[in-house]
Every structure is written in structure tokens, then in C-alpha cells.
Structure 1
Amino acid sequence: MTSAVAWALPAATAAAGRELLRRAAEERDLMRRAQGDPGALARHRLARCRAENTEALRTIVDRHGWPTGRLVGEPASTAALMILLHAPDLAFQLRCRDLVAEAAADGHCPAVHLAYIADHCAVARGEPQFYGTRVNPVTLRPYPVRCPETVDERRTDVGLAPLEQQMAALRRGA
């Protein structure tokens, strides 16, 4: 969060933003460690971190609503989304998906945030996703997509590249 943004935010929401950034960074670090050492202890630490991050995010959401960029700064809002995507609580994810949808409709949250959480929740519920952001890690193919003939239009609407372009980039990186 830039110092200019921090000064513009009330102290409580600025602190929430710093907390979100710290927690997301800690989780990224634990994920890297778990990839290098996929043992039970690393998985346990990562699971505990995600559970604690979920509770911290829940507290922020209960107090302030969805942490939009205007509320906590853009980087912290993105950190909140990352925490939400790894939350072990689908009911909480669904609740926040609706809050993100409202914030995106009001222009207070990037529409791409909604795309990621909407697809995440759809796949978790065994439903087709809307934007094709979720990919099966085994097949490297997108999980089923609702109305695949118009998926690229929906992706364009939220600022995502066409699905085939995303898949080609994924295959290059695999």
C-alpha cells in the first residue's frame, strides 16, 4: 500500500489492509515451502495458516464489508481475494462471492475478482464455471464451463484474455 493511499484510509481499514497483505505473503511463503517439502508438517502448517487467514478475513468482512481497494488499498483487496480463494469454508466463500459481486457492480472492486471467486465457488459446488479460470491440475484443461461458446465474451467483459490464450500460456509454463 503506498503511503499516499495509507494516509487516505481510516486507521482501522489501513491496519486491516496491512494485515491482509501480511497474511497473504505468509501463505505464499508456506505454499512455496510445501512445494519443496510436501511432507505432513508442511501441509499442516499451510492448512493452519489458511484457517487462521479465513478467520481474520471473516472478522474484517464482518466489521467493514468486502475489503475493496477504496477501503484497504488495491494490493490488500487482491490479497483478500487470494485468502478467500484458499479458505476452507465454502459457505464463507459464497457469502463473500455475493459481496464481491455487489462491489464489482458498484465499481468498487475489479470485475476479474468476481470472475475468480464465482468460478471457484461453481467448481466447488460441482457446477459449470462462468469464466474458465479454474483448471484441473491433472488434465490441464478447464473444469466444465457454462455456455462455452460465449466464454470469451464473458472473459473479455472482466478483463481476461481468451480462454485458449490462457490455456496456451499454461501449457508453456507446465
Structure 2
Amino acid sequence: MSRRDPRRPDRGPLRRDVGLDLLRCKWRAEEVSHAVPNTAVSAGVVAKVFEENVEVLRAIMGEHGWPGHTLVGEEAAQFAWHIAYYCPDIDLQTEALRLLEGAVRAGTAAPEHHTRLAERVGDLSGRRKP
């Protein structure tokens, strides 16, 4: 489902360059996960690419806040959420959750992304009860 900001009809993302950075991360992750056989070495390569993707997201969040669909486009926003969700750094996840909450309130991010990340952060930090 496409979410359009009614204040910006049919204009595309505000920062295509930032969206492209996220999409490059996605493409690289897909390339690595499909190109290397499932071994301990390949797991290390995949982990390194994921670490690089986390650093890209960290930089984007520091400069732009949450990269929601209005800022970067639907596909890039979805991958930003994917990085935050699977990131092993609870501090980054907590910051992403804070920024994502504001973006949802502003209508620039998917509410389900906030809900699922909040559940994940709660699970990982022990604050959510089963």
C-alpha cells in the first residue's frame, strides 16, 4: 500500500539521494546473500555488509531523522526499518524507535513499523512481557 503525503502529491521523495543510499545498501545485501554459499565465511561477509548498512542508517538518522517514505520513498523507508529491526545495537534501535514515533505522528512513516520495532525493543530489553 502506498502512503502519500497529501501535502506533496506526486512529487516523489524529498531526498532521492538519501533513498538511493539506502537502496544501495539493500542491493548489496541481496547480492551478498545470494552470491555466497552458506558457510561460516559467507556469514561473516553478510554480517560485515549488515554492519555497514547499520552505519549508513545511523548517519542518515543523525542528519535527517527517521528516513520515512516522504523523505526517501517507500522501498528505501522499508529497508531502513529492516535495518533498524534486525540491528543488534539496542541503543540504535531505541533511537530509531524514538525518531520513528515522531515520523508516524507526522504521517511520514508506517505505523506498523513503529509497532513492530517497539515490540522488538521491548523484547530485547526485557521490558515486554510474553
Structure-1-length-normalised TM-score: 0.62
CA RMSD of aligned residues (A): 2.0
Larger radius of gyration: 1
Whichever residue aligns with residue 94 of structure 1, its letter is: T
Residue in 2 aligned with 1:65?
65
Change beyond 3 A, Cα 1:31–1:126: farther
Q: Deviations over 1:30-85 (max 9, x none)?
A: 34456xx3311111011111111111111111111110111111211111111112
Taking CA–CA contacts closer than 8 Å with sequence separation of 6 or more, which of the two structures ends up with the larger relative contact order? 2
Find the aligned partners of 1:69 and 1:127 in 2 and give their Cα distance: 29
How many residues were matched structurally?
Answer: 121
Q: How does 1:119-138 map to 2 (within 5 A)?
A: 119-128=119-128
- Flag structure 2 segments of 5+ consecutive residues without an equivalent: 1-9
Find the aligned partners of 1:31 and 1:94 in 2 and give their Cα distance: 27
Cα shift at 1:23:
0.6
Residue in 2 aligned with 1:161?
none
Residue in 2 aligned with 1:113?
113
Whichever residue aligns with residue 39 of structure 1, its letter is: T
- Flag structure 1 segments of 5+ consecutive residues without an equivalent: 130-143, 145-174
Cα shift at 1:4:
5.3
Cα shift at 1:126:
2.6
Residue in 2 aligned with 1:15?
17
Change beyond 3 A, Cα 1:32–1:120: farther
Residue in 1 aligned with 2:27?
25
Change beyond 3 A, Cα 1:86–1:28: farther
Structure-2-length-normalised TM-score: 0.81
Q: Deviations over 1:83-102 (max 9, x none)?
A: 11222311011111111011
